[in-house]
Each structure stands twice: as C-alpha cells, then as structure tokens.
A and B are shown apart, each in its own frame.
Chain A
Amino acid sequence: KQEVTQIPAALSVPEGENLVLNCSFTDSAIYNLQWFRQDPGKGLTSLLLIQSSQREQTSGRLNASLDKSSGRSTLYIAASQPGDSATYLCAVISSGGGADGLTFGKGTHLIIQP
C-alpha cells in the first residue's frame, strides 16, 4: 500500500528566505505527483503536477523536482512571502492509475514571518 510522508510537519521562517519542502513515497510505481496548497478551512489549490517521466516542473517562484527511483520529491519556494503561509500537501497517483485516486501526505504547515 502506497504511503506518503512529508518532512518537516511544520516550518516557520522569516520573509525572503528560500526553502525546501520534502515528500517521500514508498512505492516508486507512480504515474503523477501533485503538490497542493491548502489555506485554513479551505479546499486544495493545485500548484504543480509532475508526470512520472518528468524530472521537474516550475511555476513562478515554485520549483518541484521528482526522483521516482528513490521515491522522493521536493518543492522549492524562492524568496518566500507572508502570502505563502499555508499547508502544502504532496500526493501521488500510484500504479493503479487514477481509479485509485490520490494518496496524500499529512502536509507541511508553513508560516512565513513578516
């Protein structure tokens, strides 16, 4: 059974710092990995999707990498801003395809101090 782990569980940094959030998964037979953002009490906003054949994806100040063989992904946030404060979730589609839905980690709760 696929399991997704995110480290750290919580992170607080001053504004302007670059930071890295980590995600690992136990079964490397995945189709996609998606990074989401969740604001308190709200739904999920998709940030980046990396297909299994890709190594990284970039969107603005965000860069996500995927090392499928080692079961790891990182989300790099450059020049962090207070508006980046949220919970960041990593999720994978495993070998069963989309019919199995996404398997999520517990998330990293990020606070950017002004």
Chain B
Amino acid sequence: ETGVTQTPRHLVMGMTNKKSLKCEQHLGHNAMYWYKQSAKKPLELMFVYNFKEQTENNSVPSRFSPECPNSSHLFLHLHTLQPEDSALYLCASSQDYWRGPSSYEQYFGPGTRLTVT
C-alpha cells in the first residue's frame, strides 16, 4: 500500500448505529487530518493530530470522536449520527505542521462516502 488509504470506501448506517472510519498513511508523516465534504459546501476541517496529539477540534459535535493511536493510523468513531452528517469524509496527512511551509503539504486519501439513514 502506498500513500493514504481509507476504509471502508462506502458506509450506510442508521442513526442508532456505531461505526468507525479508518485511515492509514504510508508516507512516514507525523500530522493527520479529518475533513468533511458535504454537497454544495467547501471541504471543512474537523480534527488535526500531530505526533498522536489532537491539536484542533473545529467545533465538531461530540457524536464524532477521533482516535490516533500512532502517527500512521487515524480513526473517526461515529455514533448517533444525523442524516445531515451524510457526506464524504476525507483523511489527509502531512510531514508535520510546525517545521515550516515545506512540511505543510497535505496528501489525501480516497475518502469514505457515508450515508446516514
């Protein structure tokens, strides 16, 4: 595997379900990100992790719970979602975000298409 991978690629869940999205990066990066892409809206940053530490929570509802067990893996745990949470969820990584502009370039995974019924 190369680059950034995400599983599953598609997920349909009911509002009472609990599910998790997984992201893995094979680039040796230290920073990982979750973004949400809804129809007709720009991509929105959700969470940022650097060296496994969460450094940004962009006012995301608590029904979304991130986990970063190591620098290569990032999870997004989902519970009690609403239909408006249906979207494409994208994971990205960068070398880090404190060493300067050359380390900020982000690489994206293919996304998980989530449908909440």
Contacts and interface: CB of A to CB of B under 8 A. Distances in A.
Nearest to A53: B101
B42 to A, nearest CB: 4
B56 A102 contact: no
Nearest to B44: A104
Interface in A15-64: 31-32, 34, 36, 41-46, 49, 51-53
Interface in B95-111: 96-98, 100-111
A102 B45 contact: yes
A102 B101 contact: no
Given A46-B105, A93-B101, A104-B43, A99 B56 contact: yes
Contacts of B74: none
A46 B106 contact: yes
Given A31-B101, A32-B101, A102 B106 contact: yes
Nearest to A43: B110
Contacts of B90: 43-44
Interface residues on A, range: 20 to 34
B31 A42 contact: no
Interface string A78-99: 0000000000010101000111
Nearest to A3: B42
B108 A101 contact: no
Given A43-B109, A98-B31, A101-B56, A32 B43 contact: no
A79 B79 CA distance: 48
Contacts of B41: 106
Contacts of B42: 4, 103-107
B109 to A, nearest CB: 5
A100 to B, nearest CB: 7
A41 B113 contact: yes
Interface of B: 4, 6, 31, 33, 35, 40-43, 45, 48, 50, 55-56, 58, 88, 90, 92, 94, 96-98, 100-111, 113
